[in-house]
Chain A
């Protein structure tokens, strides 16, 4: 499904940051949800954002997409301030709860969003095939299973063939076969230059990422590749690495 002129955007060189976050502060109800966060997300990579539920993953993702009211700091996406009008076609966002219309069919949902983002003809069929729903186009979304619904939501985000895909727990409730397929899709997209940020609270998905951001209570406690993370914490799986980092943090 990918390929349309991504090379034209001038961010092709690997190592260039697609997302640059500097001293981001987000507060809600007088409390800092994210007190002071800086990170960069590299282009053409799959970055995993891991951490327990409620640690600020969604808030961070919303800040990158530009729908979160922020209290301070900057977030640059593809060289522009997050949420800029010119980014709205280039950044795809999948919220945790599937944001599609339950009273429309899959086809109707995708056709609507395709018109909104100005997706090329044929993109509806292509994205449906990518998420494995090509045979279900005429089914009403409200009658689909939770996993199918989130796949429709994912397909919507892929319609405009975005340069940056921000996915908030996209694989929750999916069967292992499908999860594997989706991760293969993410890898294929990334190899063609797309930048993918995936959040998960399931640590075993971490090893499929090029890079990991571990988050706890609004603070990044690690920013490294999975092997480097295991090596530096002397652990054999990401969950233990996370626990050991929390221990270090608590005791210091």
Chain B
């Protein structure tokens, strides 16, 4: 690994993004638009918005970053530049980390905008500190990025990559405790939800919404999300092959 190369990859990904105005707009504005829609839906029931806002603040950046990252990485694969890079003195982790850093920066901006909008303009009220809300949102967006990087290794076309969205993301949404509290799920599903990273993000968001002080549980959830991020990067590097058929 070489930090110079890692940063060169991150810089290059951001440079590419800079020319792609439409993607940047989608990345930054879609979560905000969706949260505004939610706020509008609960125009007559502000407490419901307070209840649903935090979990969705974790979810929307996760979904958007997952999609964008998996498709972007796949583009690198299909354009032949990935093969070229892997024939050069690049460590696989340089690539994965470079991508993670670049999209992590985007995720940071995106989560800040979403939190700023919901708390500042839409009047979302949470008991816990706002910075903690932002921290979980960023962690979750980074999680979406790294999972997107990982699954893109299993897709051969951009079309297949998009199909991973319903396969990988929607089960997590269903089981994260938003529709049925995780404690009320059948035992098997409760077990499954315990190994899905989004569950921890939604848990910690719900805790923030209810209690003013940050408990050990909050940090534990954040630690679990970070562990998933690290695991996804490591698995992504392990599944990247220099030699292909």
Contacts and interface: CB of A to CB of B under 8 A. Distances in A.
B80 A117 contact: no
Given A95-B80, A101-B79, A116-B85, A83 B12 contact: no
Contacts of A85: 89
A108 B15 contact: yes
Contacts of A68: 243-245
Interface string B1-45: 000110011011001100110000000000000000000000000
A50 interface: no
Contacts of B245: 28, 68-69
A130 to B, nearest CB: 18
Interface in A64-110: 65-70, 83, 85, 88-89, 91, 93, 95, 97-104, 108
A183 interface: no
The B interface, classified by DSSP as helix, strand, loop or mixed, is: helix
Contacts of B242: 66-67, 83
B89 A89 contact: yes
B244 A112 contact: no
Interface string A108-147: 1000110111100000000000000000000010000000
Contacts, number: 76
Given A68-B244, A104-B15, A116-B8, A99 B79 contact: yes
Interface residues of B, number: 25
A80 to B, nearest CB: 14
Given A95-B80, A95-B84, A103 B20 contact: yes
B98 to A, nearest CB: 10
Q: Interface size class for chain A?
A: 20 to 34
Given A97-B80, A100-B81, A101-B79, A117 B88 contact: yes
B83 A118 contact: no
A86 to B, nearest CB: 9
A156 interface: yes
B192 interface: no
The A interface, classified by DSSP as helix, strand, loop or mixed, is: loop
A35 to B, nearest CB: 16
A65 B87 contact: yes
Nearest to B89: A88
Nearest to B81: A99
Contact of B84 (A66, A70, A99, A104): A99
B15 A99 contact: no
A104 B211 CA distance: 48
Contact of A104 (B8, B12, B87, B244): B12
A99 B83 contact: yes
B185 to A, nearest CB: 43
B83 A69 contact: no
Contacts of B87: 65-67, 83, 88, 91, 93
Q: A66, A98, A103, A140: which has the most chain B beta carbons within 10 Å?
A: A103
Interface string A30-54: 0000000000000000000000000
B86 interface: yes
Interface in B20-79: 20, 79
B90 interface: yes
B88 A67 contact: no
Contacts of B90: 88, 116
A115 to B, nearest CB: 4
Contacts of A89: 88-89
B243 A116 contact: no
24 contacts: A65-B87, A66-B243, A67-B86, A67-B243, A67-B244, A70-B243, A83-B242, A88-B89, A89-B89, A95-B80, A99-B80, A99-B81, A103-B16, A103-B19, A104-B15, A108-B15, A112-B11, A112-B12, A113-B88, A115-B5, A115-B8, A116-B9, A117-B88, A140-B19
Interface of A: 28, 65-70, 83, 85, 88-89, 91, 93, 95, 97-104, 108, 112-113, 115-118, 140, 156
Interface of B: 4-5, 8-9, 11-12, 15-16, 19-20, 79-81, 83-90, 242-245
Q: Which 3 interchain pairs have the tightest Cβ spacing?
A: A99-B80, A115-B8, A99-B84
